[in-house]
């Protein structure tokens, strides 16, 4: 049995999912990023094996044939995919796996991991989204905005929606979602994650050794 959660963080290009995701990884100790694969070239400062695995299109297509991806999609002429092995490795260690992926990939993962927690990060406005894309130096901004208009309605089908207006606030809201999952009784007791509650040994013994005498349907 795997001991962690799968989190899907998705958003239109320019909404800030990578920035938010990186802050979450710094501030949530049990969270680990699933490094995805892409055929696009690295942006300035990006490193192979840290931000993405950068592969040629031929290498990517061979991995599709071998069934190595949990999900994959073609976005803006480039391929993106999530290796199954990365997700399985993280979950087997009792950690939570964070997938920072596009909307197409999010739906594919949700089909294979129905219990995955999907979070859609919205920009506060299309005007602000255009501004961020411009500041980031993206090309084909109008094309990306048109694509964003098709992706944004998908937010209705996600488990949670967070607006990235103030960066710190967006991060705190997602951290709250993650903490609440780790406080679910089914997670704490079924996986024996008692340590996270910092309970005394006497309380733990009562929880483990006694039956509930109240109404069990709370």
- Binding site, by residue number, is 11-18
Specify binding-site residues for ATP: 11-18
Backbone φ, ψ for residue 75 (5° rounding):
-130, 125
The Cα–Cα gap between 112 and 17 comes to 22
The Cα–Cα gap between 207 and 1 comes to 22
The Cα–Cα gap between 41 and 78 comes to 9
Taking each helix axis from N to C terminus, what angle separates 17-27 and 167-182, rounded to the nearest 10 degrees? Answer: 50
Strand-pair category, 37-38 with 117-122: unpaired
Neighbouring C-alpha atoms within 13 Å toward the C-beta of 144: 20
The Cα–Cα gap between 177 and 64 comes to 33
Residue (of 68, 66, 69, 33) closest to 52 by Cα position: 33
The Cα–Cα gap between 86 and 88 comes to 6
DSSP summary character for residue 195: G
Name the strand (E) or helix (H) holding 40: none
């Amino acid at each position: 049995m795997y001991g962690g959660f799968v989190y899907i963080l998705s958003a239109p290009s320019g909404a800030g999912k990578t920035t938010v995701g990186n802050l979450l990884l710094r501030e949530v100790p049990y969270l680990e990023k699933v490094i995805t694969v892409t055929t696009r070239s690295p942006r300035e400062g990006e490193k192979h094996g840290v931000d993405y695995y950068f592969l040629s299109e031929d290498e990517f297509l061979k991995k599709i044939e071998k069934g190595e991806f949990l999900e994959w999609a073609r976005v803006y002429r480039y391929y993106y995919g999530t290796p199954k092995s990365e997700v399985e490795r993280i979950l087997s260690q009792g950690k939570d796996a964070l997938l920072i992926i596009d909307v197409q990939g999010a739906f594919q993962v949700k089909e294979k991991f129905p219990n995955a927690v999907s979070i859609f990060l919205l920009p506060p406005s299309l005007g602000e989204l255009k501004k961020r894309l411009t500041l980031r130096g993206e090309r084909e901004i109008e094309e990306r905005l048109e694509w964003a208009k098709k992706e944004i309605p998908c937010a209705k089908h996600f488990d949670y929606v967070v607006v990235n207006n103030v960066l710190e606030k967006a991060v705190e809201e997602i951290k709250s979602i993650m903490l609440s999952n780790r406080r679910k009784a089914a997670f704490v007791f079924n996986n024996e994650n008692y340590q996270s509650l910092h309970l005394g040994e006497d309380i733990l013994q009562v929880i483990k050794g006694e039956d509930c005498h109240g109404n069990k349907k709370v």
